Amino acid sequence: MNTLKNNKLRWTAASISITCSVMQATAIISLQWIAWVFLMISVLLWTYVSYTEKDKARFTQQVVFILLSFVAIYNWFQHR
């Protein structure tokens, strides 16, 4: 059952990531912060999945990405 739940979370996270990548690629500046926020949600989902699967390398990568996302959003608002 946990595998089925994780599979749904993976597809949800992947869908969010793809949608946000398209938003970022449009270069519409007013959408970029929204894309970063949703990408952070996607990464949180990936983090949860990697934690439940005890994949330490992927978990660490996702935590670092979350932290860098906070920095990116902060910098985006500071230099806008």
Residue pLDDT, tens place only, 12-46: 999 999 998 898 888 888 888 888 888 889 999 99
Query: Using H for helix, E for strand and C for coil, what is the string for the chain?
Result: CHHHHHHHHHHHHHHHHHHHHHHHHCCCHHHHHHHHHHHHHHHHHHHHHHHHCCCHHHHHHHHHHHHHHHHHHHHHHHCC
Range of the domain at 20: 2-78
Closest by CA position to 13, among listed 53, 54, 41, 33: 41
Count of all residues that appear for the chain in the document = 80
pLDDT at 6: 84
The total domain count for the chain is 1
39-66 pLDDT, tens digit each:
889 999 999 999 999 999 999 999 998 8
